[in-house]
Amino acid sequence: MVPLLLLLSALPSALAAPAPPASAAAPYVGSTQSAVFPPPGATITEYASLFPNASVVGFLGPTPTGAEAQAIATAPVAALRFDTYPLVAPSNQYTTSGPAFDLMHHWGNLGPAYSVGGAFGLPNTSPQVPAGCELEQVHLLFRHGARYPTSGSQPSEFAALLHSAATERNSRLSFSGPLEFLSTWTYKLGAEILTPFGRKQCLDLGVAFRVKYGELLNGFTELPVFRTTSEDRMQKTLLNFAVGFFGAPEYLTAYHEEIIIESGGYNNTLAPSNACPDSGNAVGGNIGGWTSGNWTEIYLKETTARLQQYVTGVQLTPSVVYGMQQMCAYETVALGYSSFCELFTEEEWRGFEYSIGEYHLSFWYGNGPGNPTAAAMGIGYVQELVARLTKTLPTKFDTNMNGTLDSSTITFPLNQPIYADATHDTVIASIITALNFTTLAANGPLPIDHIPVYQTYHVNEIAPFSSNLVAQVLSCPASAAAHDSKTESYIRFLLNDGAVPLTGIAHCETPNEDGLCLFDNFVKGMQERIAEVNYAYDCYASYSAPTPDNIIDGQV
């Protein structure tokens, strides 16, 4: 087998050099490594005749298929998500008198998804179908799996900073103490595509969804249409989900993959920002950054001073140190482990969780209840959901719905027992804002200079890697009377296995311990919500950016 070829941006001879003393950094510090596989020139068709596929080889043995699973309705407790194997994160230094501190749960949208329990205010229910109810339909909206940093993000800028300092003439760059590992550290992360663990997350989600909801496949009369966007990580997310859900090689012929273009000039409910100019300009695009910049200076001020004593030749700033915290999360989900994680205390990680970039503050003000364009960006998906629920093909396209794809029952089917749509973290944040899940925004607006004692908006519970929002359509007894055989249709939402109260939705205000709302009431409430959101104004009008303390519903 041809060995994996490593491409290094530094001089090749640097790899063979002896390790530098702790007081000095080698010139390849911070340099970028990337891999090429398959090896150049190697193709799957080479020697194809010597490696026939299973249909040619034969001898398959017995192949009967058992009944479809429906653990969501039959198991005593529906399968929950807690495992992050094979990732390793330090835990021994985080000892508190309170609940155990799980570091991965404090990485905001950069941590792996997990089951959140009763985090949203309904502790007495579970993902399990409530007793006496029967499952009729599910709608799955899920985020892509773990990815490398986006292009030009702070981790890559941190690596470039160190490499520039290491390679400049008369470099004084050196490290000691807890930062000594940086003397030989190189940047090994790619950009934007799924990591191996990210692929596993998508596959695992597909397997889990088949086990929990597989019986609904018996209701299909045609192949299902599952949707994603055109970015590489989005296509691979749906592909790996399908492998887990349908199996290999069955997935190749088991569903239609609808790829919606994710780029400027195209409407796309799973990537709506391109169709909403105000979401990226001075009106909506700067609010998250403006509100969060101050916070980094506050929570990392002392941390920056503490770490500076272990490095010479480069000046650390709160922004640089924040990039080091990001590096911990990104390296862990990409490489399995990161030495950066051990540099920070529990208090500093809690500050990071609440911090800038892509976490509580930025999500709240950039893509959630505190942004004037958030509801508008999420409302197109809500329109599609209502169309699917009512089996009514859309005829009016005045938001970010794709009029070409959504006007045909071939590309926008209305009779599927299972729907699956792959999207991004910021889109999930916008969609739950459009759905008006007010319990998640109950303690907003979020302060920008301290972490509130009690908060209800946690991005690690809303939009981590492989996050999923599931709408269950159920048939349940109309009353608790034993002799009453009448049933009615209900709907409820599970966000990372946590039932979400629907009390912010018109006609669903009466609390239900299982999160149930009468189907017709929910549809009516969503129709009113759709009418309430002024997409044209919020996304295209010229208006002043509102102050960050007077929006809690994602509208101007």
Write the DSSP string, 393-445.
------SS--TTTTT-TTTS-S--SEEEEEE-HHHHHHHHHHTT-GGGGTTPS
> Long-range contacts for 526-533 (Cβ within 8 Å, ≥24 apart)?
526/382, 526/385, 526/386, 526/435, 527/386, 529/379, 529/382, 529/434, 529/435, 529/436, 529/505, 530/379, 530/382, 530/383, 530/386, 533/375, 533/376, 533/379, 533/434
pLDDT of residue 431: 98
pLDDT of residue 214: 97
Q: Do residues 144 and 95 lie in contact, with contact meaning Cβ atoms separated by under 8 Å?
A: no
pLDDT of residue 14: 37
Banded model confidence at residue 329, pLDDT cuts 50, 70, 90: very high
pLDDT tens across 438-461, in order?
A: 999 998 888 878 888 888 999 999
Alpha helices in 309-373 (DSSP H): 318-335, 346-353, 360-366
What does the CA dihedral 372, 373, 375, 378 come to, rounded to 10 degrees? Answer: -160
pLDDT of residue 10: 36
Which residues on neighbouring strands pair with residue 105, listed in sequence order?
A: none
Query: Which of 60-74, 224-238, 242-256, 355-369 has the weakest average pLDDT?
Result: 355-369
Q: Do residues 323 and 357 lie in contact, with contact meaning Cβ atoms separated by under 8 Å?
A: no
Mean pLDDT of the chain: 89
Banded model confidence at residue 289, pLDDT cuts 50, 70, 90: low
pLDDT(6) > 90: no
pLDDT of residue 19: 47
pLDDT of residue 7: 32
pLDDT of residue 8: 30
Q: Which of 34, 307, 331, 366 is nearest to 179 (CA)?
A: 307
The pLDDT of 124-142, averaged and rounded, is: 96
pLDDT tens across 17-51, in order?
A: 444 455 578 888 999 988 888 888 888 898 989 98
Angle between helices 318-335 and 154-167 (to 10 degrees): 110
pLDDT(4) > 50: no
With b for 16 or more beta-carbon neighbours within 10 A and e for fewer, the 271-287 pattern comes to: bbbbbbbbbeeebbbeb
The pLDDT of 365-375, averaged and rounded, is: 91
Which residues on neighbouring strands pair with residue 263, listed in sequence order?
A: none
Whole-angstrom Cα distance, residue 361 to residue 287? 10
What are the CA-CA distances from residue 336 to residues 146, 150, 391, 479, 539 (Å)?
Answer: 12, 19, 45, 51, 40
On the question of a cis peptide bond just before residue 445, with omega within 30 degrees of 0, the verdict is yes
Q: Which of 72, 66, 226 is nearest to 136 (CA)?
A: 72
pLDDT(379) > 50: yes
pLDDT(16) > 60: no
Whole-angstrom Cα distance, residue 209 to residue 226? 14
Q: Which of 175, 147, 77 is nearest to 422 (CA)?
A: 147
pLDDT(176) > 80: yes
pLDDT tens across 481-537, in order?
A: 555 678 999 999 999 999 999 999 999 999 899 999 999 999 999 999 999 999 999
Whole-angstrom Cα distance, residue 68 to residue 72? 12
Residue 152: helix, strand or coil by DSSP?
coil
pLDDT(92) > 70: no
Banded model confidence at residue 95, pLDDT cuts 50, 70, 90: low
Which residues, including other chains, have CB under 8 Å from residue 52's CB and lie 6 or more apart? Answer: none
Task: Give the pair of three-digit tokens for residue 212.
Answer: 């929990």
Region for residue 320 given its phi and psi (left: phi exceeds 0; alpha: psi -120 to 50; beta: otherwise): alpha
Banded model confidence at residue 9, pLDDT cuts 50, 70, 90: very low
pLDDT of residue 286: 56
pLDDT of residue 28: 87
Quote the strand ranges of 65-179, DSSP E: 134-143, 174-175
pLDDT of residue 91: 67
pLDDT of residue 293: 58
The pLDDT of 291-295, averaged and rounded, is: 62
Banded model confidence at residue 357, pLDDT cuts 50, 70, 90: very low
Alpha helices in 184-317 (DSSP H): 196-213, 232-246, 287-299, 301-308
pLDDT(290) > 80: no
pLDDT(159) > 50: yes
Question: Whole-model pTM?
Answer: 0.92
Task: Give the pair of three-digit tokens for residue 341.
Answer: 């994680």
The pLDDT of 371-390, averaged and rounded, is: 97
The pLDDT of 415-434, averaged and rounded, is: 98
Q: Do residues 517 and 491 lie in contact, with contact meaning Cβ atoms separated by under 8 Å?
A: yes
Give all domains of the chain, ordered by start, each with its CATH number.
Answer: 5-40+149-193+284-353 (3.40.50.1240), 81-148+195-267+373-445+452-536 (3.40.50.1240)
pLDDT(326) > 50: yes
pLDDT of residue 44: 87
pLDDT of residue 101: 86
